[in-house]
Chain A
Amino acid sequence: MSNPQSSSASAVTAADVGFAYGERQALSGVSFEVASGGSFGFLGPNGSGKSTLFKLLSTIVPMQTGTITILGHDLAREASAIRRRIGVVFQSAAIDRKLTVFENLRYAGMLLNLGGKELAARIDESMQAANLSDRKADAAGELSGGLRRRVEIAKCLMAKPDLVLLDEASTGLDPAARRDMWQVLRAQEGLTILFTTHLMEEAAEADRLMLLDEGQVVAHGRPGELMEEVGGQVLEIETPDAVALVNELRTALQVDAVQVDQTVRIEGEKVQELVPEVMTRFGDRIRRLHLAHPSLEDVFLHRTGKRFIVTPPEPDVKKGRKKRRRS
């Protein structure tokens, strides 16, 4: 499936990418590399720039500054060569609800200039890959959210892509449908999957991950490594007066406690050993005490000093807000 030249090289290379909507800088100085094969996730809260980055990579908005190379092609100059080899699943469904599953795939194939036997064969393959063969004649608009997402996947497989881009593709899907979607994608040999998400558990399953905040890369690596880097464990203490407790912990126990919102956080190798001491001294002021291995949320917090807060995207509100931005 994948082109021999690109299978060893990286699928995507981005250098110093910047993008602004008028005055508002959505991305600045973003550089990263995506190796061929496997999955690569962009994780970030709302407004982190991940959707803008996605739009650039999917060739829907023109480049402004920096360079991006996808499958060996320069994005600014060779967008059409890239389009031939990528599949894209947008957050808002790109399938025609008034048409059947088969018709959607047929038109998708025709847009790729396929015809005759090749088109028919490709439709069959895509439907099989996405387990849609028994849904051929169903109207796309009458399918469940999970099935519709599978039609999207099938549609993007029509191009036999080397790279698939997914924008918050699991939003609105129940866990089973989400697993389903990933199964279909992972079964495609040699396929590189690049996805944006705000779901920690989905991000944690990526082979590699990039964390974005305010248009900049804050971390980059394997999810496990990123979490290990925070080190040891994380102790979170909920208390009515976080500021006071931080000061007392620092003076009494010489630990590097920090205040985040209404909680006190301590990260470190042997944090668990502090628990008895903390409980004896400050037990009466503690509402809740939480000890855990670092999560991706902790990685984000560790790198940015901010909590990872996400309000799930609401398509309608989002459309209204985005509509007026022009480059």
Chain B
Amino acid sequence: MNGAVYALWHRELVRFLRDRSRLTGSLMQPVIFYLMFSGALYGSFKPYGMDYSAYFFTGTLAMITMFTAIFSTITVIEDRKEGFLQGVLISPVPRAAIALGKTLGSATLSFGLAAIFLALAPFTGIDMSWDRVLPTLGVLAMLSIAVAGLGFSLAWVMDSTAGYHGIMMLFLMPMLMMSGAFFPIEDAHWLISWVRHVNPMTYGVGALRHTVQGAAPGCPTFAICLLGTAVFAVATFALGTFVVTRRSARDAI
């Protein structure tokens, strides 16, 4: 089982690093997003009196984590189509190991890319001392596992990458939007405000705000954010293991 998990995890990393355009896109997209939004809204938008560049820095970390996990779990669909997955399914590997290997692979990429962006903090004027960096990395690790588990579970039950993109726009993008990553939603319409509470991303973003900014106005307390993120990670991870263990005629292509 360990060998299998390691193999699947390692393969995710190798494939990512070997795919130049994917690598470049994944590294540049968040930087460009960050520069565009924080530059454009710099003068006009100061949530909780904070510079938008500081506010959006934390949001970008959440965005990287989510986007990377989504795009890397799409490979589940590709693996299924290309036949690679079929080969794994008939190997003696326990199915839970497939969920574990793939999810950890995606989570590692999410975490790695977010950590690289975090290293750019000094250039944005955010004071990141080690006592903030380490807890931030801890939260990023949890959040990476959570979104990778979610992405894996969705990708496992989808038949096409186009369908997955549909789900992404319908479900995952709003999750990110309604988490407070881009703008505060504390005083939003009651409906949005309600969505905020049930949206697990809210807690991930909140936890990151606590660790990166030292204070998180408009977010639940650090303890609640941590707990919410932990529950999110455990739940999606369990979901991934559940979907993968159901055998069906669909496993054959």
Interface residues of A in 57-109 (CB under 8 A from B): 58-62, 80, 83-84, 86, 88, 90, 92-99, 103, 106-108
Interface-centre pick from B8, B14, B249, B253 (highest chain A CB count, 10 A): B249
A111-B7, A325-B249 given; A60·B15 CB < 8 A: no
Contact A60 B252 (CB under 8 A): yes
> Does A319 reach chain B (CB closer than 8 Å)?
yes
Q: Is A323 an interface residue (CB 8 A)?
A: yes
Residues of A within 8 A of B249 (CB): 21, 55, 61-62, 325-327
Chain B residues lying within 8 Å of A111, measured Cβ to Cβ, are 3-4, 7-8, 88, 91-93
Contact partner of A326 (CB less than 8 A), chosen from B11, B89, B248, is B248
Residues on B with C-beta less than 8 A from A251 are: none
Using Cβ atoms and an 8 Å threshold, which residues of chain A touch B7?
Answer: 106-107, 110-111
Q: Given the complex, which residues of A lie within 8 Å of B14, measured CB to CB?
A: 99, 103
Known contacts A319-B253, A322-B253: A96-B90 contact under CB 8 Å: no
The 8 A CB mask of B67-92 against A (1 = contact, 0 = none) is 00000000000000111101111111
Q: When the two chains form their complex, are residues A98 and B83 in contact, meaning their CB atoms are under 8 A apart?
A: no
CA distance A73 to B11 in the complex (A): 32
Per-residue CB proximity of B91-115 to A under 8 Å, as 1/0?
A: 1111000000000000000000000
CA distance A214 to B237 in the complex (A): 43
Cβ of A254 within 8 Å of any chain B Cβ, yes or no, is no
Asked if residues B4 and A110 are in contact (CB atoms below 8 Å), the reply is yes
A115 CB within 8 Å of chain B:
yes
The answer to whether the Cβ of A177 comes within 8 Å of any Cβ in the partner chain is no
Report the interface size for chain A: residues with CB under 8 A from the other chain: 39
Q: Closest Cβ of chain B: how far from A326's Cβ, in Å?
A: 6
CB closest residue in chain B, given A54: B252
Q: Is B82 touching A88 in the complex (CB atoms < 8 A)?
A: no
Q: A61-B252, A325-B249 are in contact. Are A112 and B83 (CB under 8 A)?
A: no
Check A60 against B92 for contact (C-beta < 8 Å): no
Q: How distant is the Cα of A111 from the Cα of B82 in the complex, in angstroms?
A: 18
Chain A CB count within 10 A is highest, among B84, B91, B253, for B91
Decide: A60 and B91 in contact? CB cutoff 8 A. no
Q: Does A129 contact B (CB under 8 A)?
A: no
Bound-state Cα–Cα, A107 to B13, Å: 13
The answer to whether A323 and B89 have CB atoms under 8 Å apart is: no
Is B173 interfacial (CB 8 A cutoff)? no
What is the chain A residue whose CB lies nearest that of B2?
A: A113
* A325 cross-chain contacts in B, Cβ below 8 A: 249-250
Q: A55–B249 Cα gap in the complex (Å)?
A: 9
Query: Could you tell me if A112 and B91 are in contact, using CB atoms closer than 8 angstroms?
Result: yes
Contact string against A for B residues 17-50, beta-carbon threshold 8 Å, 1 for contact and 0 otherwise: 0110000000000000000000000000000000
A155 within 8 A of B: yes
B86 with A107: CB separation less than 8 A? no
- In the assembled complex, how far is the CB of residue A164 from the closest CB belonging to chain B, in whole angstroms? 12
Question: Closest residue to A51 on the B side, CB-wise?
Answer: B252
B224 at the interface (CB under 8 A from A): no
| A155, B3: Cβ atoms closer than 8 Å | no
CA distance A98 to B11 in the complex (A): 10
Q: Decide: A326 and B87 in contact? CB cutoff 8 A.
A: no
Chain A contacts with B in 14-58, Cβ cutoff 8 A: 21, 55, 58
Residue on A with the closest CB to B91? Answer: A111
In the assembly, what is the distance between CA of A55 and CA of B90, in Å?
Answer: 10
Q: Is the CB of B18 within 8 A of A319?
A: no
Say yes or no: A97 contacts B4, CB within 8 Å. Answer: no
Verify A92–B83 contact, CB threshold 8 A: yes
Which among A61, A96, A110 is the interface contact of B3 at CB below 8 angstroms?
A110
Closest to B11 in A: A107
Once the chains bind, are B81 and A319 in contact (CB under 8 Å)?
yes
CB of B86 within 8 A of CB of A94, answer yes
Q: Are A323 and B252 in contact (CB under 8 A)?
A: no
Q: A83-B90, A110-B6, A322-B253 are contacts. A90–B83 as well, Cβ < 8 Å? A: yes
Q: Does A249 contact B (CB under 8 A)?
A: no
Within B208-253, the residues touching A (CB, 8 Å) are 247-253
Cβ of A289 under 8 Å from chain B? no
Q: Which residues of A contact B10 (CB under 8 A)?
A: 107
B106 nearest CB across to chain A (Å): 16
| Complexed CA–CA distance, A54 and B193 (Å) | 54
11 residue pairs A–B, Cβ–Cβ below 8 Å: A61-B252, A62-B247, A80-B94, A83-B90, A92-B83, A110-B3, A110-B4, A112-B3, A112-B91, A322-B253, A326-B248
Q: List 12 other contacts, CB 8 Å, given A96-B15, A111-B7, A115-B3.
A: A62-B247, A92-B82, A107-B10, A108-B91, A110-B3, A110-B6, A110-B7, A111-B4, A111-B88, A111-B91, A113-B1, A327-B248
**Which A positions have Cβ atoms within 8 angstroms of B?**
21, 55, 58-62, 80, 83-84, 86, 88, 90, 92-99, 103, 106-108, 110-115, 155, 159, 319, 322-323, 325-327
